[in-house]
């Protein structure tokens, strides 16, 4: 976007990945800092375990699911000390699945082994208002738009004491009505401070919160676990900050979560997200996508658990900036029952609207030793 | 270095951080991809939780320990979704401690609360040879150089079956003699595969390995735990891949480790490393530095546990490329008892040899929307 605001809205910029191979094209999206991720793709090698991602990607064949797995494993083998690599790999992996699906004329969820495409209940995901009145107005609008579930998060929550938080929580419940699912997202505001988070539990119980999300930073296993054992008992959700499988595994096994939330654009793509979804089934914990960007990202995030009937809930962004809105020609829209589905089209089923995106394209140039090693490609 | 080889030698490039404030100057080093870390420092803001690191650093006062803590917390608050940020923060935090130590005329370990500077036993840290014969020759040289402890790692280990590994292990022990500590570092080669790692335990017991390091990727808590409970029981070491406190905490609490290895240049700097060192004491696990680069990095990595008498072992790089050798004017050299110490000088006690480094300086230029946002500064 021409102007990026200092708010928790992840749709204000976008890093798209386009991969071409064998006459086919795939698109993916990283939920990550664009410039930093680009740098990780083309940087000079530091040593054997800190290679740029292009080392594992370019010139490879993409004919079968195994080829995607091989690229993902190569990145993990050759770039583990390049911290940004998992975020960058995410968009690459998503683009590879899109490409392979188009080549084989199959939706990605089929290629992942899902037999059926089950309905998901989208929750309207949005930021708290700056005041409780604004939160109330937003909740009313969401109710009027027909959503049966809604999430409020970030904004002022946790930043100015318990009383204002209680007012926001009450306003949210009042605005959406007593029957809708209401999720609350603290946006990691309490860091590792269990006592501060505990002070909100009573109010969360009072509004019948469906879950309490990310009270703490990702990976703060002890803090999550302690809160999960506190009274009153509010179901906990977290995991969007995980950038690899073992981090998500730790959150599932040690954090006392009821919901594991995975962003395919951060965890290493659809391949790793599917591994987490399988683990969630095995460990009897509910898998939920994390998505706060485009419908290309939304499609990617639905694929890993499209065939998991019991895992019903889906994050659905409703406050997208125009950039994120214009990325996909097709939209994933709730049907008459209020449900959404992974697109039943080849690949991710979303055509990237390159014409509409030209106006947002940012020229980036990177030179090392006077030699240009990156320039923003043509759309 | 003019040429970077595809080997596990992290001294082939360097990202130095220089911070000036109030007439003082501090230096730090990131153990990280230079270009990617630079990008994370100056990238455009994506949203409130994905800001460039410069947001939290520039224009701030550095008068007391609390000021360093505030900057570290600001990075964690404003850049949690910028994955590379912890690696970049590491060099910044180290430079801030160096600067504050010079300003207050105190060694950093004093400022951290350590009363005494206890001796550390350095182990000569090096790569396996390409053949068992090469490993034997390296071990003999290390023995001749007077080291009482040695570590071999990476190279061919784990990559061509159990028999060649056993030959390398036997050669290492034979070369250094039966009394020296011998550590073995698998360099994460077995990923999450416990059975493959188990096949080496017998041979590790046979050579009386002091520890078995990083058989698995960082954060693979279950795999580490299972191996720690296997027979024969070999002490496990790991943690160098941790890039924040809670990851190290999880490794300490759930991985069955005997040694937690922390790289101050990756985990967020000296501040976070000190937090891990304190936790190691509380949890009765041995803290060890991870250092495979310059003596500036070595000094930074010694500070967090300089005052912890029981935590004796220290990684000591002995195969540094000339770049890493020339960074510091002063060296940290084993004394007649074979011990090293954190320098008893102000800050980190290492003067960066800017004159000698000029020949290695790499010109980097980054432009966004035609505007230069980074150019390599003068040394």
**Chain B within 8 Å of A39 (Cβ-Cβ)?**
yes
Q: Which residues, 6+ apart, have CB-to-CB distance to B117 below 8 Å?
A: B107, B109, B306, B307, B341, B342, B344
Query: Cα(B310)–Cα(B329) distance, rounded to whole angstroms?
Result: 30
pLDDT at A149: 96
**Chain A within 8 Å of B219 (Cβ-Cβ)?**
yes
Strand partners, B64: none
pLDDT at B151: 96
Are the beta carbons of B123 and B314 closer than 8 angstroms?
yes
pLDDT at A41: 98
Residues 60-119 of B with CB under 8 A from A: 76, 80-84, 86-87
pLDDT one-digit tens code per residue, B296-326: 999 999 999 999 999 999 999 998 999 999 9
How far, in Å, are A14, A129, A326 from residue A4 at the CA level? 12, 18, 17
Query: Cα(B300)–Cα(B321) distance, rounded to whole angstroms?
Result: 19
**Chain A within 8 Å of B371 (Cβ-Cβ)?**
no
pLDDT at A337: 94
pLDDT at A211: 98
**Chain B within 8 Å of A372 (Cβ-Cβ)?**
no
Q: How confident is the model at residue A214 (pLDDT cuts 50, 70, 90)?
A: very high
Interface contact B8-A47, CB threshold 8 A? yes
Q: Which two tokens stand for residue A300?
A: 């990617």
Interface contact B47-A217, CB threshold 8 A? no
3-state helix, strand, coil in chain A (%, to 5): 40, 20, 45
Q: Which two tokens stand for residue A38?
A: 């680009």
Is the omega angle on the peptide bond into residue A232 within 30 degrees of 0, that is, cis? yes
Query: Cα(A265)–Cα(A297) distance, rounded to whole angstroms?
Result: 7
Please give the backbone phi and psi of residue B189, each rounded to the nearest 5 degrees, phi first: -65, -25
Stretch A169-177: mean pLDDT, rounded?
Answer: 97
**Chain A within 8 Å of B126 (Cβ-Cβ)?**
no
Q: Which two tokens stand for residue B295?
A: 């003596």
Tokens 């396996």 locate to B128
| A191-209 b/e (C-beta count within 10 Å ≥ 16 → b) | bbebebbbebbebbeebeb
Q: Which residues of A touch B89 (CB under 8 A)?
A: none
Query: Cα(A143)–Cα(A145) distance, rounded to whole angstroms?
Result: 5
Strand partners, B152: B126, B184
pLDDT at A294: 97
CB count, 10 Å around CB of A255? 25
Average pLDDT over chain B, rounded to an integer? 97
| Nearest chain A CA: its distance from B366 CA (Å) | 5
Q: Which residues, 6+ apart, have CB-to-CB distance to B8 below 8 Å?
A: A47, A48, A49, B127, B153, B154, B155, B187
Are the beta carbons of B98 and B352 closer than 8 angstroms?
no
pLDDT at A179: 94
Stretch B338-347: mean pLDDT, rounded?
Answer: 98
**Using the 8-state DSSP alphabet, how is residue B305 labeled?**
G
| Nearest chain A CA: its distance from B105 CA (Å) | 33
Interface contact A370-B362, CB threshold 8 A? no
pLDDT at B236: 98
Strand A211-213 and strand A181-185: pairing? parallel
Q: How confident is the model at residue A113 (pLDDT cuts 50, 70, 90)?
A: very high
Nearest CA in chain B to A243: B83
Closest Cβ opposite residue B83 in set A38, A86, A364: A86
Are the beta carbons of B224 and B257 closer than 8 angstroms?
yes
Q: Which residues of B touch A75 (CB under 8 A)?
A: none
pLDDT at A369: 97
Compute chain B's Rg from CA coordinates: 20
pLDDT at A240: 97
Q: Comparing C-alpha atoms, which of B242, B267, B272, B271 is closest to residue B254?
A: B242
pLDDT at B114: 98
How far, in Å, are A44, A67, A213, B29, B247 from residue B266 at the CA level? 19, 32, 28, 9, 12
pLDDT at A218: 97
Q: Which residues of A touch B91 (CB under 8 A)?
A: none
**H or E element that contains A182:** strand A181-185
CB count, 10 Å around CB of A58? 10
Closest Cβ opposite residue A220 in set B35, B246, B370: B246
Q: What is the largest CA-CA distance in chain A?
A: 63
Query: Cα(B11)–Cα(A284) distance, rounded to whole angstroms?
Result: 45
| Nearest chain B CA: its distance from A342 CA (Å) | 26
Q: How confident is the model at residue A43 (pLDDT cuts 50, 70, 90)?
A: very high
Query: Cα(B379)–Cα(B374) distance, rounded to whole angstroms?
Result: 15
Are the beta carbons of A65 and A111 closer than 8 angstroms?
yes
pLDDT at B275: 98
Q: Comparing C-alpha atoms, which of B37, B146, B130 is closest to residue B87?
A: B37
**Chain B within 8 Å of A362 (Cβ-Cβ)?**
yes
Strand A313-317 and strand A121-127: pairing? parallel
Q: How confident is the model at residue B260 (pLDDT cuts 50, 70, 90)?
A: very high
Interface contact A36-B84, CB threshold 8 A? yes
Give the CA count within 13 Å in the CB-facing half-sphere of B11. Answer: 24
pLDDT at A124: 95
pLDDT at B234: 97
pLDDT one-digit tens code per residue, B215-236: 999 999 999 999 999 999 999 9
pLDDT at A181: 97
Residues 152-191 of B with CB under 8 A from A: 154, 187-188, 191
Are the beta carbons of B8 and B17 closer than 8 angstroms?
no
Stretch A215-234: mean pLDDT, rounded?
Answer: 98
Q: What is the largest CA-CA distance in chain B?
A: 63
Average pLDDT over chain A, rounded to an integer? 97
- Rounded to two decimals, the pTM is 0.97
Q: How far is CA B202 from the centre of its chain?
A: 29
pLDDT at B208: 98
List alpha helices for chain B, DSSP H.
Answer: 34-42, 54-57, 65-78, 85-104, 108-111, 132-144, 162-176, 194-198, 201-206, 221-228, 245-254, 270-282, 295-302, 322-327, 354-357
Q: Comparing C-alpha atoms, which of A264, A378, A54 is closest to residue B35?
A: A54
Q: How confident is the model at residue B269 (pLDDT cuts 50, 70, 90)?
A: very high
Q: How confident is the model at residue B242 (pLDDT cuts 50, 70, 90)?
A: very high
Q: Which residues of A touch B83 (CB under 8 A)?
A: 32-33, 36, 83-84, 86-87, 243, 266
| A39-57 b/e (C-beta count within 10 Å ≥ 16 → b) | bbbebbbbbbbbbbbeebb
The complex's ipTM works out to 0.97
Q: Which residues of A touch B48 (CB under 8 A)?
A: 6-9, 154
Please give the backbone phi and psi of residue A372, each rounded to the nearest 5 degrees, phi first: -70, 120
Compute chain A's Rg from CA coordinates: 20
Tokens 């455009």 locate to B44
Are the beta carbons of B245 and B75 closer than 8 angstroms?
no
Q: Which two tokens stand for residue A61?
A: 């064949």
**Using the 8-state DSSP alphabet, how is residue A258 labeled?**
S
């Amino acid at each position: 976007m021409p102007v990026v605001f200092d708010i928790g809205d992840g749709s204000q910029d976008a890093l798209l990945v386009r991969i071409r191979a064998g006459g086919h094209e795939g698109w993916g999206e990283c939920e990550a800092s664009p410039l930093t991720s680009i740098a990780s793709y083309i940087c000079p090698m530091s040593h054997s375990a800190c290679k740029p991602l292009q080392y594992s990607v370019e010139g490879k064949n993409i004919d079968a699911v195994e080829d995607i797995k091989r690229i993902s494993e190569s990145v993990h083998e050759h770039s583990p000390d390049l911290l940004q690599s998992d975020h960058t790999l995410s968009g690459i992996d998503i683009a590879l699945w899109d490409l392979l699906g188009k080549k084989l004329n199959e939706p990605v969820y089929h290629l992942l082994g899902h037999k059926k495409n089950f309905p998901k209940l989208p929750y309207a995901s949005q930021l708290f208002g700056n005041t409780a009145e604004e939160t109330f107005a937003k909740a009313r609008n969401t109710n009027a738009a027909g959503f049966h579930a809604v999430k409020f998060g970030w904004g002022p929550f946790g930043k100015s004491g318990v009383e204002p938080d209680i007012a926001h929580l009450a306003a949210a419940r009042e605005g959406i009505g007593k029957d809708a699912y209401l999720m609350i997202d603290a946006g990691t505001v309490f860091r590792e401070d269990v006592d501060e988070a505990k002070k909100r539990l009573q109010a969360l119980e009072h509004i019948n919160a469906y879950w309490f999300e990310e009270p703490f930073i990702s990976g703060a296993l002890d803090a999550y676990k302690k809160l999960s054992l506190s009274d009153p008992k509010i179901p906990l959700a977290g995991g969007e900050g995980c950038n690899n499988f073992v981090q998500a595994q730790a959150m599932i096994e040690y954090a006392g979560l009821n919901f594991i939330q995975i962003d395919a654009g951060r965890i290493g793509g659809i391949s790793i997200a599917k591994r987490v979804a399988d683990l969630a089934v095995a460990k009897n914990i509910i898998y939920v996508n994390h998505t706060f960007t485009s419908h290309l990202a939304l499609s990617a995030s639905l694929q890993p658990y499209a065939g998991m009937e019991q895992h019903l809930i889906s994050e659905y962004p409703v406050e997208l900036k125009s950039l994120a809105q214009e990325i996909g020609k097709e939209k994933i829209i709730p049907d008459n029952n209020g449900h959404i589905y992974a697109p039943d089209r080849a690949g991710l089923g979303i055509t990237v609207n390159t014409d509409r995106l030209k106006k947002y394209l940012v020229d980036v140039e990177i030179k090392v030793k006077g030699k240009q090693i990156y320039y923003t490609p043509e759309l």
